[in-house]
Amino acid sequence: MRALVYPLLVLLGAFPALVSGATATATPGPGPQQLMEQVSRDMQQAIDADRDALSKDPAKLRALIDRLLLPHFDTDYAARMVLGLHWRNASESQRKRFIEAFYQSLMKDYGDAMLQFKRDQLKILPFRGDPAASTATVRTEVMRDGKVVPVNFSLRRTPSGWKVWDVTIEGISYARNFRNDFGTEVNQQGLEHLIQRLEAQNAGAAPRPPSAPPSAPAQTPAARSG
């Protein structure tokens, strides 16, 4: 899972129905392509302006992430998609705890990789999609270790604007990858075990290892975090 998180921070966590047939003007805020460009620009400017202080103060870095990335990341939807069928059997308390623990787990690891990221490592490609659709894919290329890596961001139209919920790196979906890893753990040890492990990990305690090793391939572009 570690290898799938880095590109997300480059720009910027029963399933609710997508808004079918919505028009481009019905959604507040910028379109998907403009949103990704805006988040990327704002994040990098903030880091460049205060990189030393951010590297010394994890709380300050986390506050920056929450301020600039969280409003544009669909944490609830991503967590539900990752939990998959296990969402149906979860209690309301477990659902809330999992959403929070999953997001915290992603954000906890963003810091170091974010501070290492440079603006010239990212290229946002021309948009190919229907602006009136309820979902969109923004294609980018990330330069990592001298290699150009295709990274596609999946967004969905929501009442509060377009939001990111998945990233696909070289054809590998981070949401699907987490879903497979977490699904194995839940099947073998239960949902409560998974939630408690994530909560302990986020709190700084030594995490209990999941029942199966992460399935993210070693050749993906890098650095877990998420």
What's the pLDDT score for residue 207?
43
CATH 3.30.420.40 fits 2-203, yes or no: no
Q: Rounded mean pLDDT of the chain?
A: 78
pTM over cut 0.75: no
**Residue 186: how many CA atoms within 13 Å on its side-chain side?**
20
How far apart CA 139 and CA 114 sit, in angstroms, is 20
What's the pLDDT score for residue 205?
53
Taking CA atoms, 222 is separated from 74, 75, 113, 168, 225, in Å, by: 22, 21, 9, 13, 9
What's the pLDDT score for residue 26?
61
How far apart CA 194 and CA 98 sit, in angstroms, is 8
What's the pLDDT score for residue 17?
29
Strand ranges of the sheet holding 122-124, from the earlier edge strand across to the other edge:
122-124, 135-144, 147-158, 161-169, 172-173
Could you say which residues of the chain have pLDDT below 70? 1-26, 108-113, 205-226
Sorted by where each begins, the domain ranges of the chain are: 2-203
What's the pLDDT score for residue 7?
47
